[in-house]
Amino acid sequence: MAYLPLVESGFNPNACSKAKAVGQWQFIEETAKRYGLHIDFWRDERKDPVKATQAASDYLKDLYNQFGSWDLAMAAYNVGENRIQALGVQG
């Protein structure tokens, strides 16, 4: 699990994907705001390593509780929980 931000961004806090996911943990805006990260013209907390790591931890815990498996939680983190739900896989 420690390698998740390496895979997502290479630990680059300024990483930005074509899907507009930002930061080491590659949060899209909707998910970032859902987990308490502030985003506006002046600041983007997705780039804050401490706040974004706490949000990612909370998100991963929620995904684990939803899917019952760390493997599925990490997969859902990468592609989104809706896509994993649509596959109908169980932990």
pTM of the model: 0.91
Token pair, residue 22, equals 């930002």
User: What average pLDDT does this structure show over 3-31?
Assistant: 93
Predicted confidence (pLDDT) per residue in 22-66, tens digit: 999 999 999 999 999 999 999 999 999 999 999 999 999 999 999
Task: Report CA torsion sign: 72, 74, 77, 79.
Answer: negative
| pLDDT, position 21 | 95
Please give the angle made by the CA atoms of 31, 27 and 81, to the nearest 5 degrees.
55
Q: How confident is the model at residue 91 (pLDDT cuts 50, 70, 90)?
A: low
